A and B are shown apart, each in its own frame.
Chain A
Amino acid sequence: KAGVTQTPRYLIKTRGQQVTLSCSPISGHRSVSWYQQTPGQGLQFLFEYFSETQRNKGNFPGRFSGRQFSNSRSEMNVSTLELGDSALYLCASSLDRTSGNTIYFGEGSWLTVV
């Protein structure tokens, strides 16, 4: 079956702009989580959605937001982009994380802010 699909794969934005990234989870998976990966900070948890509700949230400013649709697809949005937001944004899906199910990552969206 198809894996986790993230779009776009690469994008370049200017400081102050906003960006929306999309994630389609594996069919049947209801939990979607987002991570930011940078060389300096590693993989950092942004938030997790389950059945359209945000279940967990990391320590990121309010400029980072997300949502999940009824078909489990998810989007994350970053407003007022800063240079430091340049990173690989990874989406992961699982049946339900609370029981330690395997999570599957997408290939990520590479965001460069100039």
Chain B
Amino acid sequence: SQKIEQNSEALNIQEGKTATLTCNYTNYSPAYLQWYRQDPGRGPVFLLLIRENEKEKRKERLKVTFDTTLKQSLFHITASQPADSATYLCALANQGGKLIFGQGTELSVKP
């Protein structure tokens, strides 16, 4: 069955460092992959979308890579700040648009 795995452990890093979150998937050929941020008690907020034919996408301090051979996406936050502390979700979709979410990785950035 389709499976998405994100870093199961919470990620704790120091302010100013680069946070790297991993999203691995099996038994799936996604048309695109998305990353979301979710704060406690709030709905997820869209951050970035990367398509199957794209290797890398950037937006300000955020960078996403997508390796369809390794079946993996990496999400980087450079120069991290305490305000970046949240849970980050990856989601995959086929051409039909049905999204499947990972369990999320909790990121904590310490000052």
Is the C-beta of A100 less than 8 angstroms from some C-beta in chain B? yes
Q: How far is the CA of A100 from the CA of B43 in the complex (A)?
A: 19
Chain B: minimal CB distance from A8 (Å): 15
Q: Give the size range of A's interface with the partner.
A: 20 to 34
Closest residue of chain B to A107, judged by CB? B43
Pairwise interchain contact B95-A45, C-beta atoms closer than 8 A: no
Q: How far is the CA of A104 from the CA of B99 in the complex (A)?
A: 13
Chain A 28-60, CB within 8 Å of chain B: the 1/0 string? 000101010000001111001000000110100
Pairwise interchain contact B93-A97, C-beta atoms closer than 8 A: yes
Residues of B within 8 A of A4 (CB): 43
Give 10 closest A-B pairs by Cβ, nearest first: A97-B97, A105-B43, A43-B101, A42-B103, A56-B98, A98-B97, A100-B32, A102-B46, A105-B44, A107-B43
Known contacts A90-B43, A100-B51: A42-B97 contact under CB 8 Å? no
Closest residue of chain B to A105, judged by CB? B43
Q: How far is the CA of A108 from the CA of B38 in the complex (A)?
A: 12
- A interface residues, Cβ below 8 angstroms from B: 4, 31, 33, 35, 42-45, 48, 55-56, 58, 90, 92, 96-100, 102-108
Closest residue of chain A to B104, judged by CB? A42
Residues of A within 8 A of B104 (CB): 42-43
Residues of B within 8 A of A104 (CB): 46
Q: How far is the CA of A92 from the CA of B45 in the complex (A)?
A: 10
Q: How far is the CA of A58 from the CA of B100 in the complex (A)?
A: 10
Chain B: minimal CB distance from A12 (Å): 16
Q: List 8 A-B contacts (CB under 8 A).
A: A42-B89, A42-B101, A43-B44, A92-B43, A96-B97, A97-B99, A98-B95, A108-B42
